[in-house]
Amino acid sequence: MSDSIFLYLKMKKRNLELYLHIPFCVRKCNYCDFFSASGTPKEQADYVSAMIQEIQSYQELSGEYEVQTIFLGGGTPSLLTPEQIEKIFTTIYHIFSVNENAEITMEMNPGTVDIEKLRAMKAAGVNRLSIGLQSAQNEELKMLGRIHTYEEFLETWKLTEQAGFKNRNIDLMSALPGQTIESYEDTLSKVLALEPEHISAYSLILEEGTVFYDWYEKGKLDRGAWKLPSEEEEYAMGELTIQRLAEAGMHRYEISNYAKPGKECRHNLGYWDRVEYLGIGAGSSSLIKGGTV
C-alpha cells in the first residue's frame, strides 16, 4: 500500500449515527413499555444538562467519525423547550463533525409543539419529524391513553407544514382493542389524504407491566367494547396496510415501515446495515466497532 493511500485511509472518517433518548412524556400511554415517564421542569432541565455533559465526553472519540444521521427519540422529545433543543444541537455541532446532508429526525406528539418550537427545531437543523398519531378515531385514542384527539393532531400537522417540514412520518397502530377493519381503514384513508412521506404501521403487542397487559389478564380485552380483534382480523389489517399504502405509492422497506421513494428513514436503515451508532441518554445503547463507549 502506498504512503498516500495509507494516509487517506487513516484520515477518512467513519460513518456514525447519533441516537439521543429523551425519556419524558406528559403521561404514560396504556400500551407503552418504553423507558419513559412524566417529569418536572426541573428534572427535564437537569436531564438536558447531564446529556450535554455526556455529548461533551465524546470529544476524543468524535474525531474518528462523521455523523450521517441524528435521531431524537423517546419518550416525547418535543416536550423539550426551544432553548433546550438549541443547547443540545449546539453541543452536538461543537463536538461532532456532522455531514451537511445529515438526516436529523425528532419524534413528537400532537399538542406538544407550537410554531415557535417548530421553528426552533428547524433552525437547529431538524429536517425530519416523526409524529405519533396511532389512530384517527378519538375513542381509540382515548382507550390508548393518548394525550390528543385526531383534530389536535391535524392542528399540529398544519403547524409542521407552516414551519416548512417536508419529510414527515406518521406512526399508526393496528390490532387495537375495539378496533375494527372498518375503523382501521378509515384511519388509513384519513392519514393517506395528508400525503405523508413515511408511515410506520405497528401491530399492537401486549407488553408485561403495561395497563393493557393488566386489562388482558383480567379478561377485559376478551369481550365488550375493548375486545381484541381476532387473529384473522389482525392479519387482514396487516394486508390492508400493505395494499392501501402501495396504492398511495409507499413501498414497504422494513417490517413496519413504508415510504415514498427516497424518503426511507436513513437512520433506521443504518441499524440494518450495521453502521456504527452512539446512544446518548438513559435507555440508549451503542455499537462502536473495535472500541468501548
Does 29 engage in binding with ligand SF4 (CB under 6 A)?
Answer: yes
CA distance linking residue 174 with residue 2, whole number of Å? 57
| C-alpha grid cell, residue 18 | 447519533
Query: Which residues, including other chains, have CB under 8 Å from residue 91's CB and lie 6 or more apart?
Result: 52, 55, 56
What is the amino acid identity at position 165? F
Window contacting ligand SF4 (CB under 6 A); options: 13-21, 23-31, 61-69, 208-216: 23-31
CB of 174 to ligand SF4, least distance (A): 15
Q: Cβ of residue 135: shortest distance to ligand SF4, in angstroms? A: 13
Stretch that binds ligand SF4, among 27-35, 151-159, 206-214, 233-241 (CB under 6 A): 27-35
User: Least separation, in Å, of the C-beta of 29 and ligand SF4?
Assistant: 3
Looking at the Cβ atoms of 14 and 27, the one nearer to ligand SF4 is 27
* CA 21/CA 30 separation, integer angstroms: 20
Helix or strand holding residue 103 (H, E): strand 98-108
**Per-residue x/- marks for ligand SF4, 36-55, CB under 6 A?**
x-------------------
**What φ, ψ does residue 103 adopt, rounded to 5°?**
-90, 125
Interaction mask 102-141, ligand SF4, x per CB under 6 A? -------x----------------------x---------
* List 15, 34, 185, 186, residue binding ligand SF4 (CB under 6 A): 34
Closest contact distance (angstroms) between CB of 219 and ligand SF4 is 24
* Burial class of 268 by CB neighbour count within 10 A (0 to 12, 13 to 18, 19+): buried
167 touches ligand SF4 by CB under 6 A? no
| 256 touches 200 (CB < 8 A) | yes
Q: How many positions of this chain bind ligand SF4 (CB under 6 A)? A: 11
Q: Cell 382501521: give the residue.
A: 184
